Amino acid sequence: MPVYEFECPNGEITERLEKMDVEEIVCPQCHQIAKKIMSCCTFELKGGGWYADGYASRKK
């Protein structure tokens, strides 16, 4: 089974094992919709700075 990564609006990453090709899940931490991340390179398309800041600073 493939492992998919999902990112919510708070920049939290959730890894899930999914049988089917789901596009989004509910973030277990903030309960908002987390969208699937297609690949490691997706971060750069969205802006590396935004991702790095969001992920690092919101881990409280």
Alpha helices, H only, 1-60 = 42-46, 48-57
Closest CA to 34 of 57, 4, 48, 14: 14
C-beta closer to Zn ion: residue 33 or 38: 33
The least CB distance from residue 34 to Zn ion, in Å, is 6
Dig out the tokens for 42 from the structure.
Answer: 């997706």
Which residues of this chain interact with Zn ion, rule CB under 5 A?
8, 10, 12, 27, 29-30
The least CB distance from residue 16 to Zn ion, in Å, is 13
Strand partners, 25: 34
The least CB distance from residue 1 to Zn ion, in Å, is 23
